[in-house]
């Protein structure tokens, strides 16, 4: 303060804000807002191959939207779907809109794989040929004489044994009913036409999500208007709902906090200058926080902005403490006021930054963003008050005593005395309350609590899953081997076990590459199986003769078979002919490992699937369970982090003010933490990792309030006003967070709100002896 020059410091502040605004003009012009749910989840603790597999597994899910148009007849359902297809194509939201399944794609795939037909056998054909090849011939004859025989007869000349037709049909494990090239599903009441779409990209920008939501709503109304029904589901819809909820909560918290601050400041100060200065501190903090966070992370999640909006109530604390100090003495001036409150402001900032640093140590990108955003916002708000306010408040004086000052003064004088006089039974009640609440506290670590989709969206997703059981579940297997041969062997062992579980109804279907592509060894075995069982045995020759093939046709077939002896279909060649869903199963070979994923559809018994991890080269990947277990581990670590933060704060305060005084100040956040946890237990609130990080903020706020009352001296009245206004504005922000529809956000807001209220009640108890001695002196003087 001896070298403090208001004009110089104001110039430093202005230069810094100009630099931030210039940076903002550069970084905020690009796509900087993240809306996807998966962006909140950590990947750093996963093994690289699991992280890669998870990313690839999610790529299709993140873009795919499934539409089902329902009607009383299949033709009506198809008509609705055709009109819907036009509407979706006109929206230009989708890179692919599939209604009629393209026959050309199947024809091309058929042609690419046909030259290798003698090496490609489906599992059923392999089994029949190995045990009783005559059954294969009998089945062929039954098929040819059935109503669908004409369709198979078209392939008979080129594929007389129908071996390749069997293999090609087995490419799609779940058979779907096609009408006019359109998949038509049915339940007891309606027919449903299927339409599949892929969004243009995975970025899921906010404006496109809003367009998607509007499109779904308008399409639903249009189909209803003509007597139909529309079901829509997909990860983008869940993301869209989450983004819309977050957007509404940003508005609610931001506008609610701002209006509350305006009302409180106007009622207290009755002047535009304090209001404008507070807005300047808040605005500069939020702008700097946004720019620095985007600059550091590249993109920030929309949920970060929800928490960032709550920062409004906290960032205003420093401005209010400065302004309220002006009521502390008659000859107040900005320089003298800053000199008095600067130690308290600085220590309060340090404790808050320490709390947010705790958030930064978590492995969750969302919490890391919240930590940096909040820390930068508070730091810049503090710098605005310290560097700029003394200059802008020069010559300014309040010429009134605010009514709220009388209330806070009365409360500050009488509340501590009442507590002191009733401390025994109050202490007993508090102990029972805290003990009971902690006993009722039950940890919940389910990652799905990060999202709170509406029940209607969940019901629709379940109904679509029942009608169209083709979408892969989040769980899958990762299969690896040191080369393609070992990988293939490992996956084949897994698929055999999965087939057994499928027969037991543990799952509906599964998809693995080795089900469709046999390796070189298996291809040779397939060829030899055909050679011995059909060709060398003469069984095929007799079968072809019975069907009316002449001798030349039989010789031509045998010649083609002999010429194919050296043919081998490589995996890259097979993948080039496969559809995108199957291509996504292959992860490639690198660093001595070949890897793929096995997708699972319609899981009914997850415990039976997890038991398959005992197979060599097989890893069970459950994204929900793995991240939930990560939540549980870090909840335990966060408890230790919270204890360390309390110890560090206690050591710092003990070193600065003496150990006894340090413990006195720390009693405020300790009681606030205990009561906050107890209230979560009594009210059945969610208790997870996020509550512990909320308690880190309670630590910072509690230390802040305790410090101001400890250092108040003869300015307890103005200190009480500043702390009360600070608490009220902060409560507005975090109290509105507690109204969030997302459980974790709600729990975060509830925990901080309970902690702030408790800290506000406990802080005036610091300095109780001074109040009692002051009252004693007054009584003596009156005598």
DSSP letters, 282-310, are: HHHHHHHHHHHHHHHHSSEEHHHHHHHHH
Q: Please tell me the predicted confidence (pLDDT) of residue 69.
A: 92
Reading the block at residue 191, the tokens are 């027919």
DSSP letters, 107-176, are: HHHHHHHGGGGGG---HHHHHHHHH-HHHHHHHHHHHHTSTTHHHHHHHHTT-TT-HHHHHHHTTSSS--
d(CA 702, CA 673): 9
Rg over alpha carbons for the chain, rounded to the nearest Å, is: 35
For the whole prediction, is pTM greater than 0.75? Answer: no
User: Quick check: helix, strand or coil at residue 767?
Assistant: coil
Q: Are strands 300-301 and 33-34 parallel, antiparallel or unpaired?
A: parallel
Cβ contact 219:189 at 8 Å: no
C-alpha pair distances (Å), 616 with each of 498, 612, 620: 15, 9, 12
Partners of 196 in the β-ladder: 66, 98
Which burial class, exposed, middle or buried, applies to 401 when counting CB atoms under 10 A from its CB (0-12, 13-18, 19+)?
A: exposed
d(CA 699, CA 411): 24
Q: Are strands 182-186 and 191-199 parallel, antiparallel or unpaired?
A: antiparallel
C-alpha pair distances (Å), 568 with each of 519, 535, 572: 9, 19, 12
Q: Which residues of the chain have pLDDT under 50?
A: 776-783
Reading the block at residue 702, the tokens are 């509690």
Q: Please tell me the predicted confidence (pLDDT) of residue 281.
A: 86
What are the b/e assignments for 95-106, b being 16+ CB within 10 Å? Answer: eebebeeeeeee
User: Quick check: helix, strand or coil at residue 663?
Assistant: helix
d(CA 483, CA 367): 40
SS (H, E, C) 48-76: HHHHHHHHHHHHHHHHEEEEEEEECCHHH
> What are all long-range contacts of 459-464, with beta carbons under 8 Å and residues at least 24 apart?
460/231, 460/232, 460/233, 461/233, 463/231, 464/66, 464/68, 464/231, 464/233
Calculate the CA 394 to chain-centre distance.
48
Reading the block at residue 213, the tokens are 């939501």
User: Quick check: helix, strand or coil at residue 364?
Assistant: coil
User: Quick check: helix, strand or coil at residue 21?
Assistant: helix
pLDDT tens track for 424-482: 898 899 999 999 999 998 888 776 666 667 778 888 888 888 888 767 777 889 999 99
Q: Would you give the DSSP letter of residue 37?
A: G
């Amino acid at each position: 303060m001896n070298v403090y020059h208001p004009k110089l410091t104001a110039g430093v502040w202005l230069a810094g804000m100009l630099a931030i605004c210039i940076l903002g003009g550069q970084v905020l012009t690009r796509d900087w807002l993240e809306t996807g749910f998966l962006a909140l989840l950590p990947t750093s603790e996963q093994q690289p191959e699991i992280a890669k597999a998870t990313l690839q597994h999610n790529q299709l899910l993140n873009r795919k939207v499934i539409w089902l148009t329902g009607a009383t007849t299949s033709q009506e359902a198809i008509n609705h779907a055709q009109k819907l297809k036009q509407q979706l194509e006109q929206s230009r939201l989708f890179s692919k809109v599939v209604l009629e399944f393209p026959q050309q794609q199947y024809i091309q795939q058929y042609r690419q794989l046909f030259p290798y037909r003698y090496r490609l056998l489906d599992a059923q054909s392999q089994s029949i040929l190995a045990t009783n090849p005559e059954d294969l011939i009998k089945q062929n004859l039954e098929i040819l004489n059935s109503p669908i025989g004409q369709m198979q007869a078209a392939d008979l000349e080129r594929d007389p044994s129908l071996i390749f037709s069997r293999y090609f049909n087995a490419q799609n494990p779940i058979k779907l009913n096609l009408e006019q090239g359109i998949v038509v599903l049915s339940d007891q009441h309606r027919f449903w036409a299927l339409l599949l779409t892929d969004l243009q990209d995975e970025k899921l920008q906010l404006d496109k999500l809003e367009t998607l939501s509007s499109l779904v709503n308008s399409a639903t109304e249009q189909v209803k208007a003509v007597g139909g029904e529309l079901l829509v589901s997909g990860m983008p819809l869940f993301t869209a709902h989450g983004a819309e909820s977050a957007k509404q909560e940003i508005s609610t918290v931001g506008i609610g906090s701002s209006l509350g601050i305006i009302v409180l400041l106007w009622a207290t100060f009755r002047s535009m200058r304090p209001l404008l200065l507070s807005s300047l501190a808040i605005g500069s903090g939020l702008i700097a926080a946004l720019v620095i966070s985007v600059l550091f992370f590249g993109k920030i999640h929309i949920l970060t902005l929800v928490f960032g909006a709550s920062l409004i109530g906290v960032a205003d604390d420093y401005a209010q403490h400065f302004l309220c100090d002006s009521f502390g003495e008659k000859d107040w001036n900005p320089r003298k006021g800053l000199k008095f409150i600067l130690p308290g402001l600085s220590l309060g900032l340090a404790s808050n930054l320490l709390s947010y640093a705790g958030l930064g140590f978590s492995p969750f990108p969302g919490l890391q963003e919240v930590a940096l955003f909040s820390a930068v916002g508070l730091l810049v708000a503090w710098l605005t008050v310290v560097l700029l306010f003394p200059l802008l408040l020069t010559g300014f004086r309040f010429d009134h005593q605010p009514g709220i000052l009388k209330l806070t003064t009365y409360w500050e004088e009488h509340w501590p005395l009442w507590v002191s006089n009733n401390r025994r039974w109050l202490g007993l009640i508090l102990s029972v309350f805290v003990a009971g609440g902690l006993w009722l506290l039950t940890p919940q670590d389910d990652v799905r609590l990060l999202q709170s989709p509406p029940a209607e969206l969940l019901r629709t997703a379940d109904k679509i899953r029942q009608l169209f059981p083709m979408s892969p579940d989040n769980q899958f297997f990762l299969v690896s081997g040191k080369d393609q041969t070992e990988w293939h062997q490992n996956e084949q062992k897994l698929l055999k076990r999965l087939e057994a579980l499928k027969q037991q109804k543990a799952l509906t279907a599964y998809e693995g590459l080795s089900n469709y592509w046999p390796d070189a060894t298996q291809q040779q075995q397939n060829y030899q199986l055909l050679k011995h069982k059909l060709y060398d045995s003469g069984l095929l020759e007799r079968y072809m003769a019975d069907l009316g093939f002449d001798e030349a046709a039989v010789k031509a077939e045998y010649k083609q078979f002999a010429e194919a002896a050296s043919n081998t279909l490589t995996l890259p060649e097979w993948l080039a002919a496969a559809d995108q869903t199957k291509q996504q199963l292959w992860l490639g070979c690198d660093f001595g490992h070949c890897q793929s994923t096995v997708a699972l559809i319609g899981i009914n018994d997850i415990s039976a699937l997890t038991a398959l991890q005992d197979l060599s080269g097989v890893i069970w990947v459950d994204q929900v369970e793995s991240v939930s277990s990560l939540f549980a581990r870090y909840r335990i670590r966060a408890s230790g982090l919270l204890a360390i933060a309390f110890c560090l704060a206690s050591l710092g305060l003990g070193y600065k003010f003496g150990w006894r005084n340090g413990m006195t100040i720390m009693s405020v956040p300790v009681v606030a933490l205990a009561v906050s946890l107890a209230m979560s237990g009594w009210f059945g609130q969610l208790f997870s990792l996020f509550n512990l990080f909320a308690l880190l903020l309670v630590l910072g706020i509690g230390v802040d309030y305790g410090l101001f009352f400890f250092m108040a001296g003869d300015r307890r009245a103005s200190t009480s006003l500043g702390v009360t206004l600070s608490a009220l504005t902060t409560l507005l922000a975090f109290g509105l967070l507690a109204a969030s529809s997302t459980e974790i956000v709600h729990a975060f807001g509830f925990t901080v709100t309970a902690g702030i209220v408790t800290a506000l009640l406990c802080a005036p108890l610091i300095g109780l002896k001074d109040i009692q001695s002051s009252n004693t002196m007054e009584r003596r003087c009156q005598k």
